[in-house]
Amino acid sequence: MAVEHINRKGQKYYLHQGTTKTGKPKYFFSQKSEGTLVQTIPDGFEVYENPNAQVFLQRIQPKIITLDEIATVEKGIQKFSHLHYCKIDVKKDTIYVYTPNQNVNNLSKLYSSFSTANPVDIETTIARSISYSSMLRFILYNEQKRIFTAQRFCFLGSIDDWIGIGYPDTLPTLVEKYMQHLEKDSFYELH
């Protein structure tokens, strides 16, 4: 049986194998069930789904960020932000916090006005339809002491890049300090 992955939007993807120009194998996910399908995930690889539900096969990454640190950010989103829809992603030594690109309250009102579906179905539809952008990130600054720095994304036309905010500190301290600003005007005043 071919390797399949169903993403958060409920779309089924199949793992395919192709070849590079030099004749080496390459792997990719597609919604098409025809072609050269792979039966098992190759050694040293893992399935990765990004916050926008795109599916990839990637080399297994060394775990620099701990499960406790990921849980700290997840709990911080629930405790300090008002966001119901939020995603986190970990890449190497960095924890990214993603927020919706759409106004979720307006989407909810829109779906409710055009649908006779129950609130759970509307919630599921919203969760599957929104896209995300990374707005805040925590970068491991000192691996031995587990000290992090915080950065926010800056949308000034001349910058459009990550900018540092505050000073290096423990992850729980940074999460409490900055998570409350997500999706608020005060977020753009952080520097």
For the residues of the chain, what is the DSSP string, one character each? ---EEE-TTS-EEEEEEEE-TTS-EEEEEES---SSB-SSPPTTEEEEE-TT--EEEEEPPP--S-HHHHHHHHHHHHHH---SS-EEEEETTEEEEEEESS-HHHHHHHHHHH----HHHHHHHHHHH--EEEEEEEEEEETTTTEEEEEEEE--TTT-EEEEEEEEEEHHHHHHHHGGGTTSGGGGG--
Report which of residues 84 and 5 the model is more confident about. 5
Tell whether 12 and 89 lie within a shared domain: no
Does residue 117 surpass a pLDDT of 70? no
Q: What is the pLDDT of residues 78-107, one digit of tens each?
A: 999 988 899 999 999 999 999 999 988 887
Tell whether 34 and 84 lie within a shared domain: no
Does residue 122 surpass a pLDDT of 80? no
Instruction: Count structural domains, the chain.
Output: 2
Tell whether 13 and 89 lie within a shared domain: no
Tell whether 31 and 83 lie within a shared domain: no
Tell whether 172 and 122 lie within a shared domain: yes
Does residue 47 surpass a pLDDT of 80? yes
Tell whether 26 and 83 lie within a shared domain: no
Tell whether 54 and 125 lie within a shared domain: no
Tell whether 41 and 129 lie within a shared domain: no
Q: What is the pLDDT of residue 103?
A: 86
Residue finishing a domain among 38, 59, 80:
59
- Mean pLDDT across the stretch 147-161? 88
Full residue range of the structural domain in which residue 34 is found: 4-59
